[in-house]
Chains A and B, each alone.
Chain A
Amino acid sequence: NAGVMQNPRHLVRRRGQEARLRCSPMKGHSHVYWYRQLPEEGLKFMVYLQKENIIDESGMPKERFSAEFPKEGPSILRIQQVVRGDSAAYFCASSPPGINSNQPQHFGDGTRLSIL
């Protein structure tokens, strides 16, 4: 399967713990995006990364959240000191390089984060 791969699919954490969500983009894609979906809501943009660079993090909460996309390996969304309100589905998407690309973003199946 050459699609966007996210793991884990489900993650349970207690309040105060750290959550790490991983995303491997589609083959040939170098742009990665993270979105969060709260219950009964649409997906909300969090951050846009290219290899080793954060391009747009305007949707990221100011504290506790960080993202990276290293030269080697998957993109990581890290949430420190999780709280109940962080419970949501987190989706990763990827797209090919090319600033004028009309290719759509392709999504993974998400990580469902539950905070006890």
Chain B
Amino acid sequence: DQQVKQNSPSLSVQEGRISILNCDYTNSMFDYFLWYKKYPAEGPTFLISISSIKDKNEDGRFTVFLNKSAKHLSLHIVPSQPGDSAVYFCAGTSRGAGSYQLTFGKGTKLSVIP
């Protein structure tokens, strides 16, 4: 049972345009969400997070949107740069329930074309 789903295994975007990565979740107990970026042969690097009490969080070129009623979140990267090419993982957790385990999606491979 996949509690976090990233339905697009891959995405190609032209440099300078917007990248939109999507993530759906099924666990209603999740109250905190994170996006990680991963290059080959490296560990995931934290990008941005959002608490369920918010619907938007922004950090530079990265913005995460949360739609609780739809159990959907998205990561927007604008403008996209070739160095953004990586696998992006969405993760959820239930901090209010005292859990610290992160439940990850399978990832979306983003390719930014120069």
Interface positions of A (Cβ within 8 A of B):
4, 6, 31, 33, 35, 40-45, 48, 55-56, 58-59, 91, 93, 95, 99-100, 102, 104-110
Residues of A within 8 A of B99 (CB): 56
Q: Which B residues between 97 and 114 are near A, CB-CB below 8 angstroms?
A: 98-107
List 10 additional contacts besides A42-B4, A43-B89; criterion CB under 8 Å: A4-B43, A6-B43, A33-B101, A35-B102, A102-B51, A106-B46, A107-B36, A107-B45, A108-B43, A109-B43
Q: B39 — nearest CB in chain A belongs to which residue? A: A109
Q: Which B residues between 20 and 53 are near A, CB-CB below 8 angstroms?
A: 32, 34, 36, 41-46, 49, 51
Residues of A within 8 A of B45 (CB): 107
Q: How far is the CB of A64 from chain B (nearest CB, A)?
A: 21
A42-B101 in contact (CB<8A) = no
Residues of B within 8 A of A108 (CB): 43
A58-B101 in contact (CB<8A) = yes
Q: How far is the CA of A11 from the CA of B48 in the complex (A)?
A: 32
Residues of B within 8 A of A56 (CB): 99-101
Number of A-B contacts defined by CB within 8 Å = 60
Interface positions of B (Cβ within 8 A of A):
4, 32, 34, 36, 41-46, 49, 51, 89, 95, 98-107
B101-A91 in contact (CB<8A) = no
Q: List 25 A-B contacts (CB under 8 A).
A: A6-B43, A35-B104, A40-B106, A42-B4, A42-B89, A42-B104, A42-B107, A43-B89, A48-B100, A55-B100, A56-B99, A93-B43, A93-B102, A99-B98, A100-B95, A102-B49, A102-B51, A104-B34, A104-B49, A105-B46, A105-B100, A106-B46, A107-B43, A107-B44, A107-B45
Assuming A104-B34, A104-B49, is B101 touching A45 (CB within 8 A)? yes
Q: How far is the CA of A31 from the CA of B95 in the complex (A)?
A: 15
A109-B105 in contact (CB<8A) = no
Looking at B51, B89, B104, B105, the one whose CB has the most chain A CB atoms below 10 A away is B104
B43-A42 in contact (CB<8A) = no
